[in-house]
Amino acid sequence: MKIDSAVIKTLSLDPAKTTVAKHGGSGFSTTAKITTTLRDGTEKIFFMKTGKGKDAEVMYAGEHASLNAIHTVPSLCPASFAHGPLEDAAGGAFLVTDFLDMGGTSSGGEKWSGMSLAAKLAKLHTTPAPIPEGFSKPVFGFPVPTCCGDTEQPNDYTESWADFYGQHRLLAILKKSERTNGKDPTLRSLVEMTVTKTVPRLLGDHHLNKGKGVTPVVVHGDLWSGNKGRGRIGGTGAVEDVVFDPSACYAHSEYELGIMRMFGGFGGSFLKDYHEICPKTEPVDEYEDRVNLYELYHHLNHHAIFGGGYKSGAASIMRALHRNPSGRRRPFYTGIAQGFLPYHTPVISIVRQFVKSRNQEAYNELSIYAKRSLESAEESAMSRFEEIGKAEGLINGAEIGHGRMMEL
């Protein structure tokens, strides 16, 4: 495998002392490991993604900015060094970051060290976002568009969090869904109702924190269990809790929790430890509703990308928030918990195996298991549950596992 001239020039590498080899895999990119000897004689390892077309350029520009925004918290994620168009492959683009050596122990065999992921994330979420040029205070948005999956997200700077979330997340993803899945008057009506009524009620600046609003902070933006792990940044040093493949923006800290809840993987004392450092926003009794509202975006995004049962999950959230704005857990979420539980542990186990090894055998195993889980869930939903909330939860639980497998 030959390293592109643009990468050599941008990183000032010596071609005679640089090798590149395919490493891992990605649904959107070709991935590789670059090993080079620097001028001072030290060895340096990089991780590189390459792709084709304008979409790859946008994705890599967003990931580059996202990684470096998150990297303000020491050892939370790899640093990004460069991105841009390839020279030797017309229409191609690249991204070069720190190499992340994934594993549960360091080379000496000791356990990981440093801050826990909960503490690192809380530190990120209690640090005000930088003030963009032309503004006098932090605002919501991001310097460049970012991609959640293959969805390009607009991040125009906005002073109101409710306006940003309603316009640049919910209505924006509805437009993409209509482009990929066709017009859906019912879904559009639900989303528009949510944007005009539910979002201002729960997220309005006059409402949050007793009228003080929320301070924009950097969020990862796509923090499901497959985008976190333990590893050594740069392939050296101690093993740390790390995150990767971000889709960052300057947002309300609780926005991060929506996808974390949707896919799980942050159990135990994680949220307790996190909220000891980053408290829940006032009013606390609406915390559950806010997280449900943030989870909604990811159901809509998965519907836009994959179609299928994610639409019913999104509709259930919107109807529940409109019908019963009390902060209590509702039958739909009980259904997810009860329906997905029989499949959650083995599916997540195989997901972790695939993310760690990136090999075809693990991919095939996950694909087969996820499809069987979906079939079993649909059959069980017909025979075991009469309540529509439980049936929806069961089917959606299995489709969540299947959808994330397809994204990987």
Residues labelled catalytic: 222
Enumerate residues 6+ apart whose C-beta is below 8 A from 175: none
Beta strands 30-37 and 43-52 are antiparallel
Q: For residues 193 and 322, what is the distance between their CA atoms, to the nearest angstrom?
A: 8
Mark residue 272 as left, alpha or beta (left: phi above 0; alpha: psi -120 to 50; beta: remaining). Answer: alpha
322 CB burial (10 A radius; 0-12, 13-18, 19+): middle
C-alpha distances out from residue 377 to 48, 310, 384, Å: 39, 15, 10
Separation of alpha carbons 329 and 196, rounded Å: 23
CB contact at 8 A, 318 and 193: yes
What count of other Cβ atoms lies within 10 Å of the Cβ of residue 335? Answer: 25
| Residues facing residue 20 across a β-bridge | 34
Six token digits for residue 154: 């607009």
In terms of residues, how long is the chain?
A: 408
- Rounded distance, CA 353 to CA 279, Å? 33
> Is the Cβ–Cβ distance between 216 and 182 less than 8 Å?
no
Strands (E), 106-212: 146-148, 151-153
Give the rounded distance of the alpha carbon of 349 from its chain centre.
19
Please state, in angstroms and rounded to a whole number, the distance separating the CA atoms of residues 191 and 188.
5
Q: Are 138 and 128 in contact (CB under 8 A)?
A: yes
CA-closest candidate to residue 242, choices 75, 63, 33:
75
